[in-house]
Amino acid sequence: MKPAHKLLFVLCPMLVLGFIYYSSGKLHLYVWGQKPRPESGKLRDSKVNEIWDQLHKHSHYDKDVPATVKVHKVTKNTVKSPVTKEPVVEGPVSVGRTVGSVFDKQGFMLNLDTKLPPELVYKYGNLSEGSCKPGYAAAKMTAIYPKFSKPACMFLDRNFKRLAKVNNYLPPFGFKTQERIIDVILSSTKNYGLGPDLDSLSCKRCVIVGNGGILSNKSLGSRIDEYDVVVRLNEAPVNGYTRDVGTKTTMRITYPEGAIQKPERYEKDSLFVFSAFKPLDFKWLRQMVNREKLGTEGFWKSVAHYVPRDPSEIRILNPFFIQEASFQFIGLPQNNGLMGKGNIPTLGTVAITMALHNCDEVAVAGFGYDMNTPHAPLHYYETVKMSAIKESWTHNISKEKEFLRKLVRANIITDLTNGI
């Protein structure tokens, strides 16, 4: 081939690909009605803790809400009430197809088909009605998000340094710089799974119980207790609310500032699952595991001084779920792999991401807020009102909700309280 021909040969496909990419980007913006997001500035490693503190002065989405917060003005296009939900299949599908793009910017199919793929219809054909479907969540996820790869361990184990996707990121997106302290913690906990009974189940059903007021007075407790794995978040209580939230807690995922502070409020027989957001959090965990004296400098609110758990009941959540939820699923700013404004997923979405990889069926309850009822309670266990929500600096609630709605629409997760 002549050099000029060679060049054309290479250039043509590139131009075509470039055009497709360009148009799919534009369409995506059209589909979700967003503006392109500005790239955040570079942050220095040493600044991470400081920035974390700054961010949290403004954030209270999944934890305590200060009494003096301003009322957040809710605009119609950021939050949709359940009443105004769009139909399952909508306009953007045909718009996407006219230029051959079937995926949105995050790599999800624009057409969130709710039907079971034929191979699953066959696989599940002989199962009796209502029985657990092995591999269901991951298979449906792959059907609408082909990049999905199921294997991702729930908790870090002694081989954690081999986890290629996380060993190069600083917390919260990985564990870089924390390897030694994690080694020390894991050599004390000596357990890295859910326990023999759950680990040996051939089909696991999990429910993530969010803390939303939407759980109140729905009497879902007994339904929640039917799941094999019941995941709760931070300090959300069970006692006094069992009719609505159930009695069973397989694990409680938390971070230092979110953890239950009163030792007597910890339930028996649940795993204390630690999710780190900043480097200092690992130090806190080592102090809890080894019952060392606690230095409380550097946290953005008071933290538990004592976790009444045997080391064998403590786990470290794989930070991959924070990374994947933020950068892949929700599409928050990468910020060079460092935490920055609006790029931290909420703990509930992190837990759902974990479940997509590790459970055969996934349900959620207590997620989502109905902004049309500002006097409804924000959390099921306290009287703070919905209207106390204001713009969060750490999370991007509206982008996160877009992701969760894709999961619900495609029937990947079941939303027991219909809040998403």
Ligand X SMILES: *[C@@H]1O[C@H](CO)[C@@H](O)[C@H](O)[C@H]1NC(C)=O
Residues engaged in binding ligand X (CB under 6 A):
34-35, 37, 122-123, 125-126, 213, 216-217, 341-342, 376-377, 391, 396, 399
Residue 33 or 151 having the CB closest to ligand X? 33
Token pair for 331: 């599409």
DSSP for 357-409 reads: HH-SEEEEES----TT-TTSBSBTTS--BGGG----SS--HHHHHHHHHHHHH
Residue 216 or 353 having the CB closest to ligand X? 216
Residue 192 or 393 having the CB closest to ligand X? 393
In angstroms, what is the minimal distance from the CB of 365 to ligand X? 14
- Cα–Cα distance for residue pair 73/374, rounded to 1 Å: 11
In angstroms, what is the minimal distance from the CB of 277 to ligand X? 16
246 neighbors 224 (Cβ within 8 angstroms) = yes
Residue 59 is which amino acid?
S
Q: Is 284 exposed, middle or buried (0-12, 13-18, 19+ CB in 10 A)?
A: buried
In angstroms, what is the minimal distance from the CB of 37 to ligand X? 4
Three-class secondary structure of residue 317 per DSSP:
strand
Three-class secondary structure of residue 247 per DSSP:
coil
Residue 204 or 399 having the CB closest to ligand X? 399
Q: Is 187 exposed, middle or buried (0-12, 13-18, 19+ CB in 10 A)?
A: exposed
Could you tell me the CA-to-CA distances from 125 to 140, 205, 360 in Å, in that order?
16, 19, 16
In angstroms, what is the minimal distance from the CB of 291 to ligand X? 39
Residue 178 or 396 having the CB closest to ligand X? 396
Query: Residue 399: CB partners within 8 Å, gap ≥ 6?
Result: 330, 331, 332
Residue written as tokens 């470039």?
A: 18
In angstroms, what is the minimal distance from the CB of 19 to ligand X? 24
In angstroms, what is the minimal distance from the CB of 396 to ligand X? 4
Residue 130 or 151 having the CB closest to ligand X? 130
In angstroms, what is the minimal distance from the CB of 149 to ligand X? 24
Angle between helices 279-289 and 48-56 (to 10 degrees): 90
Token pair for 219: 């009497």
The dihedrals phi and psi of 65, each to the nearest 5 degrees, come to -110, 120
Q: How does DSSP classify residue 211?
A: -
315 neighbors 271 (Cβ within 8 angstroms) = yes
In angstroms, what is the minimal distance from the CB of 343 to ligand X? 8
- Cα–Cα distance for residue pair 419/413, rounded to 1 Å: 12
Token pair for 196: 């023999």
Residue 120 or 152 having the CB closest to ligand X? 120
In angstroms, what is the minimal distance from the CB of 215 to ligand X? 9
Closest CB to ligand X: residue number: 342
In angstroms, what is the minimal distance from the CB of 123 to ligand X? 5
